[in-house]
Amino acid sequence: MPKITDFEIHDVRFPTSLSGDGTDAMNTECDYSSAYVTLKTDTDLVGHGMTFTIGRGNDIVCTAVREVANRLVGKDTEELFSNMGKTWDYMMSDPQLRWIGPEKGVIHIASGAVNNALWDMYARARQKPLWKLIVDFTPEEFVNSVAFRYISDAITKEEALEMLKQKEATKKEREELVREIGYPAYVTSAGWLGYSDEKVARLTKEAVAAGFNHFKMKVGANQANDLRRGKIIRSIIDDPQHLPPGLKPRDPNGPDLKGKNAGPTGAVLMIDANQVWDVPQAIEYVKGLEEIKPWFIEEPTAPDDILGHASIRKALKPHGIGVATGEHAHNRMVFKQLLQAEAIDVCQIDSCRLAGVSEVLSVLLMAAKFGVPVCPHAGGVGLCEYVIHLSLIDYIAVSGTMERNVLEFVDHLHEHFVTPCSINSKGRYNVPTNANEGYSIEMHKSSIAEYEWPSGSYWVSAKAGKP
Ligand SMILES: C[C@H](O)[C@@H](O)CC(=O)C(=O)O
Ligand SMILES: [Mg+2]
């Protein structure tokens, strides 16, 4: 039985701030970064994981990752795998580290990196990609993998078991379908705030030609600019001449687009403010963008303000605009309350702001129970690689539907991963199929050597003035 013997941590930072990639109204200068960890055993078995930051502070997260990973050293892997829910509880319950959370902030995202690495190791040990490991679980194995503490007022283990059993008989057909057609996706990387109108227009045309029909644009710095950019995007996505040859405009009243404010070609626009507004300000500002027909406003206000989101949702409903949030929802209890307070139309889990797969599974179950579609956040490095696994689990084993879902795609930095995610010609994510890819987050050693902060070759050259 392999035992965890050691771990390796890398602070990896990519200079995305140079091109304006990843920018929004709140985060104006992002160097997409990874606090990356590899858990090692006394055999060849390893597990890779990471959490995402946007630059400075990544070293602080790495320090926390070290503390969390340390607690797994000496543990028998099969014992950990045999009840990943219990393992998760153990990871969250360090008698001293818990004080610097609990279950939020640096310690929580560090726990996410380590929990993800352990899940990656588990999937590798079973020679399956992570999504397949989990969808092949029996309902009992599934619920044993979930973080249930503090959410039994929203969903009990018994209810979750019942929900999973109901989906059991039809899992195989959903798996076959999604392997064939891919999982629906949307593009954010055409609409970063720091891009010029010309760049936004060019990238939007490219995205339409690549088969995408859902697009997200950053807003919140200046309403007139947002309207102008929104109209540019709408003029492209609503014009059938930009569709790829052979692709017909989609029916905006079709079941998958109904209620999404689809334009005449069936294209959908979403907007994201990254928390810049107070509640009344959010309502007024977004009403002013009604003309560009957004499906939802994402992160309109502070991520912890559950009732604020509920007020915004209520005020915007008559205008046909929904509310989405989650990339900064720091634990399952925040999602629980967002759902209980009917504050969101779309649930945007983040694969490593939540403390890894076990906590994500609890949110998937709650969202399915409350009937809210899960559209994971993926604007960052490595997040697209992670989240296709989570959406497949949601579709095949939990919610059983991908009709209202779209999974975020940003076209940055995939080349640094050994098994990068990919998109098919219809603008949908391909299903990861490699038996050895685990959670698909292994980074090339050469990328780590180049971008490790501050000693990697890129950063040493940049300091010497020759990046
Ligand atoms: C700082 C990140 O790029 C953020 O803007 C991503 C985001 O909000 C999203 O992808 O959504
Ligand atoms: Mg966002």
Q: Which residue lies with its CA nearest to atom 7 of ligand 1? A: 379
Question: From CA 270, how far away is CA 233, in angstroms rounded?
Answer: 11
Query: How confident is the model at residue 467, as a pLDDT?
Result: 55
Report the atom number in ligand 1 closest to the C-alpha of 298.
11
351 C-alpha to ligand 2 centroid (Å)? 13
Q: What distance in Å separates the CA atoms of residue 191 and residue 206, rounded to the nearest whole number?
A: 12
Cα of 258 to ligand 1 centre, how many Å? Answer: 26
Per the rule left: phi > 0, alpha: psi between -120 and 50, beta: everything else, 454 is: alpha
Are 68 and 90 a contacting pair, CB within 8 Å?
no
Residue 310 CA, ligand 1 centroid: distance in Å: 22
| 377 classed as catalytic | yes
Residue with tokens 């930051």: 53
Q: pLDDT tens-digit profile of 263-296?
A: 999 999 999 999 999 999 999 999 999 999 999 9
Residues having C-beta closer than 5 Å to ion ligand 2: 272, 298, 327
Strands (E), 258-394: 268-272, 294-298, 322-325, 346-347
Closest CA to 32 of 41, 19, 42: 19
Question: Active site includes 108?
Answer: no
Mutation choice for ligand 1 from 17, 27, 328, 411, CB with most ligand atoms inside 8 A: 27
In sequence order, the β-bridge partners of residue 408 are 186
104-124 burial, b for 16+ CB within 10 Å, e for fewer?
bebbbbbbbbbbbbbbbbbbb
Closest ligand to Cα 31: 1
Q: pLDDT (tens digit, 0 to 9) for every residue of the chain, 467 residues total?
A: 899 999 999 999 999 999 999 999 999 999 999 999 999 999 999 999 999 999 999 999 999 999 999 999 999 999 999 999 999 999 999 999 999 999 999 999 999 999 999 999 999 999 999 999 999 999 999 999 999 999 999 999 999 999 999 999 999 999 999 999 999 999 999 999 999 999 999 999 999 999 999 999 999 999 999 999 999 999 999 999 998 888 889 999 999 999 999 999 999 999 999 999 999 999 999 999 999 999 999 999 999 999 999 999 999 999 999 999 999 999 999 999 999 999 999 999 999 999 999 999 999 999 999 999 999 999 999 999 999 999 999 999 999 999 999 999 999 999 999 999 999 999 999 999 999 999 999 999 999 999 999 999 999 999 888 65
Q: Which helix (H) or strand (E) holds 35?
A: strand 33-41
Among 23, 24, 295, the mutation site with the greatest number of ligand 1 atoms within 8 A of its Cβ is 24
Q: Which atom of ligand 1 lies nearest, measured to the CA of 21?
A: 3
Choose, from 108, 218, 260, 309, the residue flagged as catalytic. 218
Q: What is the pLDDT of residues 217-246, one digit of tens each?
A: 999 999 999 999 999 999 999 999 998 888
Nearest to 330 by CA among 148, 104, 68: 104
Question: Which residues' Cβ are closer than 6 Å to ligand 1?
Answer: 22, 24, 27, 30, 54, 188, 272, 274, 327, 377, 379-380, 408
| Three-class DSSP category at 39 | strand
Residue 213: predicted pLDDT: 95
User: How much helix, strand and coil, in percent to the nearest 5, is found in the chain?
Assistant: 45, 15, 45
CA–CA dist 13, 29 (Å, integer) = 13
Report which ligand 1 atom has the smallest distance to the Cα of 188.
Answer: 10
Which pLDDT belongs to residue 308?
Answer: 98
Q: Structure pTM?
A: 0.98
Q: Which atom of ligand 1 is nearest to the CA of 410?
A: 10
Whether the complex's predicted ipTM surpasses the cut of 0.85: yes
pLDDT of residue 245: 85
